[in-house]
Amino acid sequence: MTNGPVRGASSLFEALYDDDDAVVRALRAGASAESRDEEGTTALYLASVQDLPGAVRILLAAGADPNRASGPEAGDLPLCGAACGGHAEVVGALLSAGAEPDLSEEFGFTALRWAAGLGHARVAEALLAHGADPSLPGPQGEVPLVVAAGRGSVHTVRALLRHGARGLSPALDEARRMLTVDVEQELRDGLRRLYGDEGHERAVRRTPVDGGVTVTVELLRDGEPFASQDLQTGHGAIATLLENELGLRAPFEELAVRALRGGGPGLDNWLVAVGTLWLRGDEETFQAAAAWTADADPLRRAFGVEVLARLGFGTGGRPFADRAVPLLRESAGSSDPATAEAAARALDRYVGVPGE
């Protein structure tokens, strides 16, 4: 590799900001697919971090090395740059072209470490499918499962578990720790440590993402964001998944707290707790669910109804049908729409039970 910018580099870099046809024209005019700008940034790296999958494929087809480092200190990798941005299509293209999934950048970050820390589950899936080590430590010795657990990304944790990631116990400790934390305050404190508290305005957003909620805190200057941090909030589901993997049994009341803390029906914290209780299928769980259906909190009532919907079905029968059906009928007449709808759906699962 030469030390200076490659001939035709400027036209190729300009083409990246145009369209794929312009990239092809620049290459045909003599620009090298390995072009670098004055700072040593490669065209492939720029296309990767800018999420330009078409340009990435064109450069790779023209001979760009997916493992060539970029930047002034040659410390940046295209795969890591794409993983950091959550650019799953680009990551897939780089891996298909031979990018080595476990190469680390200057400070010891691998692509999987970036994906785990930022909750990019689709990127993590792609990396793992192409042989990334699910337990390769990060720059401070942290394993991806612990990082993903702290991030609150349920889908990333599931992907790592499917690929045999180590570190279940410390990951569980981290998920449980995060359950004691006010996520918004954690983000505010993180920004304060970085930028001080010079009267910055703050904005908070809660966005449904991948079966959960992502909380983002932004610092504003003249009404415009200039810094932000975010976390996902699937820590309840993650703790339960890890407990299940380790053969641990959380108290049923703790599972209810996790489900309700996470935002309600249909989200991962709720679904994982409900599914875990379904599989228990014991008298203790039935008694708890029956009590929840009579609770003053409508969300807790709906939770109890959903637990009753398939409690013990994993045994091949419906062991609580004779007691669950009357409770569900009563809940179906609730004035609370969420409870009534959940009860109606649950009763559908008991079709054919005597008295129905």
**Per-residue pLDDT tens for 123-159?**
999 999 999 999 999 999 999 999 999 999 999 999 9
CA torsion, ordered 322, 323, 325, 331, to nearest 10 deg = 170
For the whole model, what pTM was predicted?
A: 0.92
**Res. 6: pLDDT tops 70:** no
Backbone angles phi, psi at 227, to 5 degrees: -160, 150
- Fold observed for domain 9-179: 1.25.40
**Per-residue pLDDT tens for 275-312?**
999 999 999 999 999 999 999 999 999 999 999 999 99
**Per-residue pLDDT tens for 233-273?**
999 999 999 999 999 999 999 999 999 987 689 899 999 99
Which DSSP string do the residues of 17-63 spell out, in sequence order? TT-HHHHHHHHHTT--TT-B-TT--BHHHHHHHTT-HHHHHHHHHTT
Mean pLDDT for 174-202 is 93
**Which H or E element spans position 122?**
helix 121-129
d(CA 242, CA 291): 27
Mean pLDDT for 321-333 is 96
Query: By the 8 A CB rule, do 33 and 59 touch?
Result: yes
Tell me the pLDDT of the chain averaged across its residues. Answer: 93
Alpha helices in 203-349 (DSSP H): 235-246, 252-261, 268-280, 283-292, 298-309, 321-332, 337-348
**Which H or E element spans position 146?**
helix 144-151
